[in-house]
């Protein structure tokens, strides 16, 4: 009876620790990382224009934290981090409603800053905690205190970036949008390169490895292949859809712009300014011919 009660107590305690770890550490970390990711690409309007985006950030942080916690307790630290890296841009697309190129760039910059801030603080704290690191990681309160300076540093970066409009790339700038095509090419190249790597790895295993060795392939390698294949499949699917939408939109003149041109020409004709009206008509004609509308 005592042993059963003790096991139940340990189970409840473990659940409480897991919940506290999510609430105090994982969710705030994901929330700040999400905001930093958005600010690094200059999407300040995302936080200003629609309050629903803040709710999306909270939902993202909860889902990201739960997934990270789930995989962290079931696979190695390296594998868990890889899953987190692959899942983050997908959550940006489906939860935060960023487009493909924005999600890829934001996730890269956001994860880089997140890792950098943690490495900076842990490097400074390491001489003082090296002898008690196991105790710290087994105690949620101590782990929260250890992570607190990193969260404060990330919060300071959010404040400075938002207040002074500091960004790594200005994705909302019109000149930047002209380079979006090249950004998409990079995304395609990375995705295709990953598929080529997977194909090479599997071919090498099938051709050069012995049958017994192939049948006893480490589960870690198999899982890595599954993660990468799923990620690349989703990214390429979204990339193809975005490219298709891009060329469809490019092949027709925007209705509002077309109406504005007609109104402008009409006003010129009412003012009997026939020379400028003819020039405007010629410009519109050339635009329509160039865009094959």
Locate 24 and state its tokens: 């105090």
State the SS3 of the chain.
Answer: CHHHHHHHHHHHHHHHHHHHHHHHHHHHHHHHHHHHHHHHCCCHHHHHCCCHHHHHHHHHHHHHHHHHHHHHCCCCHHHHHHHHHHHHHHHHHHCCCCCHHHHHHHHHHHHHHHHHHHHHHHHHHHHHHHHHHHHHHCCHHHHHHHHHHHHHHHHHHHHHHHHHCCCCCCCCCHHHHHCHHHHHHHHHHHHHHHHHHHHHHHHHHHHHCCHHHHHCCCHHHHHHHHHHHHHHHHHHHHHHHHHHHHHHHHCCCCHHHHHHHHHHHHHHHHCCCHHHHHHHHHHHHHHHHHCCC
- pLDDT value, residue 5: 46
Locate 170 and state its tokens: 């200005």
- pLDDT value, residue 224: 72
User: What ranges do the domains of the chain cover?
Assistant: 2-172, 179-246, 255-290
- pLDDT value, residue 94: 92
- pLDDT value, residue 95: 94
- pLDDT value, residue 216: 47
- pLDDT value, residue 13: 63
pLDDT in tens, the chain (293 residues): 544 545 555 556 667 888 888 999 999 999 999 999 999 988 898 988 888 999 999 999 999 999 988 888 787 777 788 888 889 999 999 999 998 778 888 888 888 898 889 888 988 888 888 888 888 888 888 999 999 999 999 999 999 999 998 888 777 765 555 555 556 656 666 666 666 666 666 555 554 454 454 444 556 666 777 777 777 777 777 766 666 566 556 555 456 666 777 777 777 777 777 777 777 777 777 766 665 54
- pLDDT value, residue 215: 46
């Amino acid at each position: 009876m005592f042993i059963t009660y003790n096991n139940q107590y340990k189970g409840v305690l473990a659940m409480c620790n897991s919940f506290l770890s999510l609430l105090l550490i994982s969710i705030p970390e994901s929330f700040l990382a999400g905001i930093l990711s958005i600010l690094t690409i200059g999407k300040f309007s995302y936080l200003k224009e629609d309050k629903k985006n803040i709710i999306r950030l909270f939902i993202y942080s909860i889902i990201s934290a739960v997934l990270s916690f789930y995989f962290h307790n079931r696979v190695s630290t390296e594998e868990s981090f890889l899953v987190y890296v692959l899942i983050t841009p997908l959550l940006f697309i489906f939860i935060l409603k960023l487009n493909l190129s924005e999600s890829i760039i934001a996730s890269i910059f956001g994860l880089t800053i997140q890792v950098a801030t943690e490495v900076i603080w842990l490097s400074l704290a390491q001489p003082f905690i090296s002898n008690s690191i196991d105790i710290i990681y087994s105690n949620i309160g101590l782990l929260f205190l250890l992570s607190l300076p990193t969260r404060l540093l990330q919060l300071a970066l959010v404040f400075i970036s938002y207040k002074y409009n500091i960004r790594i790339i200005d994705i909302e700038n019109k000149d930047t949008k002209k380079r979006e095509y090249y950004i998409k090419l990079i995304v395609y190249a990375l995705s295709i390169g990953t598929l080529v790597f997977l194909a090479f790895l599997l071919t090498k295993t099938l051709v050069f490895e012995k049958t017994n060795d192939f049948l006893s392939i480490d589960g870690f390698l198999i899982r890595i292949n599954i993660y990468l294949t799923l990620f690349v499949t989703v990214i390429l699917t979204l990339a193809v859809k975005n490219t298709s939408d891009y060329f469809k939109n490019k092949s027709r003149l925007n209705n509002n712009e077309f109406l504005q041109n007609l109104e402008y020409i009409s006003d010129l004709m009412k003012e009997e300014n026939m020379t400028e009206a003819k020039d405007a008509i010629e410009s519109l004609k050339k635009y329509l011919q160039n865009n094959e509308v």
